[in-house]
Amino acid sequence: MTIEYAIALQEKAWKLLGRGKLTEARDAIAEALKLFELIEGKETPDVANLLNDLADLEDRLGLFDKAMANARRSMEITDKLVRTFKGEEATLIRARSRTLLGTLNRQLGDYKLAEQYLKDALKLNLKQFGKDHVEVASSESNLGIVYKYSGQYAKGLALYQSALAKLKALFGDDGFELSMVNHNIGGILHAAGRFAEAEAPARRAWELSKLHLGASHPQTMADAASLAAILDSLERYKESEPIYRKALKVFEKLYGPENYELAVNLNNLAAVKSAQGKAEEAEELYRKSLKMSENLLGKKHPDVALTLYNLASLLQVSGRKREAIRLYERALKIFEKVLKPKHPKILLVKKALVAAQA
C-alpha cells in the first residue's frame, strides 16, 4: 500500500459524498487515515488533515462523539507541530479543526465553547491571510451561525455583512462565493422573525447558485429549499410547495430513492401540507421522511428526533394524543443523549409533551 493509494481513497471519499453516500465516504477516509498513520506515523500534518475529513463526515452522520474526538486530535497534532509546520497549509488545517469543534459544540448546544473555537479559527486566518481574504470571510460566516443559534442576531448579522463585503470586493457582485453568505443572511433574518427581509438575500443565494451551478445542482436546490422555508413563514405555500417538489425530483434523480436530502425535503413538504390543513397527506410525508432518516442515520440521530417531534405535533393537533406523547418521549430521549439540558430543542419538546399530557 502506498501514499498514492491513500490519496486515491481520499479523492474517492469526496466523490462518494457528492453522490450522497456518507457511510461509504467515511469508510474510505478511515482507510486512508490508517494507511497514512502506518506509512508516516500518527502525528503528521497529513494525518491531521485526514482526521479533519473524518470528523466532517462523522458530523454529517450524527456521530458527534467520534467527530469531536477526531477534530480534537487533529488540533492537538498541529499544535504540537506549530514550530515546524507553518504557512498557509498549516493554518488551513489548524483553523479547520477549530471550525469543526466550534460547529460540533454549536450543534450540541454549547454556544460559549463553540464561539471560542470559531473565534480562534478567525484569529488564525486573520494572522495568516489578512482581513480581506476569503478564509477570513468564511470564518466570520461560521461564527455568525453560532450567534444565530444563540439568539445574538445583531452580532451574527454584522459578521455576515462583513463577510459579504469582503467577498464582493474579491469576486464582484455576481461571484458564486456570495451565495452562501446570502443564504446565511436570509437564515438569520428568518430566525429573528424578520421574514419579509429574509426573502431577498435567500432569493439572491438561489439566483447565484443557479447562475454558477445550474438549476438542478444539489447546492442550488439547498438554497431553493432555504428560500421555500422563508416563504412558508410568509404563508406563501403555493410558491414554496413547487420548490420542495422540484428538490425531491432532483435529489431522487441524483442520489436514488433513499438519501438524506430527500428525507429533509419530505419533512419540509409535510410541514406545508400540515399548514394547509391536509393532515393525512402531511402524516404520510412525515412517516416517509422518518423511515428514510432512520435507515440512513440510525434511530438515535437528532434529525430523526426532529421529524418525530414534527409528526407528534401533527398527531396532537389531530386529537391523537397517546401517539403524540409516545413520539414526543422518544424525541426527547434522543435529544437528551446528545444535547445540553437547556438546549432549545429539548425545551421545545418538553413544553409540547407537557401540553399533550394535560
Domain 42-169 shares a fold with domain 257-358: yes
Task: Please list, in sequence order, all residues whose beta carbon lies within 8 angstroms of the beta carbon of residue 61, skipping any fewer than 6 positions away.
Answer: 22, 23, 26, 297, 301
Amino acid at position 83, single letter: R
The Cα–Cα gap between 118 and 136 comes to 11
pLDDT (0 to 100) of residue 87 = 95
Total residues belonging to the chain: 358
pTM of the model: 0.86
The SS3 of residue 266 is helix
What's the pLDDT score for residue 61? 81
End-to-end CA distance of the chain: 63
Grid coordinates in use for 100? 469543526
What is the distance between the alpha carbons of residues 163 and 330, in angstroms, rounded to a whole number?
40
Residues 246 and 214 sit within 8 Å (Cβ to Cβ): no
Q: Supply 34's cell numbers.
A: 490508517
Cα–Cα separations (whole angstroms), residue 56 to 69, 176, 231: 11, 23, 30
pLDDT at 170: 97
Give residue 343's pLDDT.
Answer: 84
Residue listed under C-alpha cell 454529517: 60
Instruction: Classify burial at 314, counting beta carbons within 10 Å of its beta carbon; exposed 0-12, middle 13-18, buried 19 or more.
Output: buried
For residue 1, the model assigns a pLDDT of 60
User: In angstroms, rounded to a whole number, what is the distance separating the alpha carbons of residues 206 and 302?
Assistant: 27
pLDDT in tens, 18-35: 777 888 999 999 999 999
Q: pLDDT value at position 2?
A: 80
* Sole residue written with cell 418521549: 329
CATH topology of domain 257-358: 1.25.40
- What pLDDT sits at residue 289? 97
- Please answer whether residues 27 and 6 qualify as being in contact, where contact means their C-beta atoms are separated by less than 8 angstroms: no
* CB contact set of 338 (below 8 Å; sequence gap of 6+): 64, 108, 302
User: Amino acid identity, residue 320?
Assistant: R
Superfamily holding 42-169: Tetratricopeptide repeat domain (1.25.40.10)
CA distances from 264 to 172, 179, 212, 289, 323 (A): 32, 21, 24, 7, 22
Question: Where are the domains positioned within the chain?
Answer: 42-169, 257-358
- Residue type present at position 93: I
What's the pLDDT score for residue 261?
A: 86
Contact 124, 94 (CB under 8 A): yes
Nearest to 98 by CA among 131, 123, 65: 123
Q: What share of the chain has pLDDT > 90, as a percent?
A: 80
pLDDT for 160 equals 98
Spans of the chain, pLDDT less than 50 = none
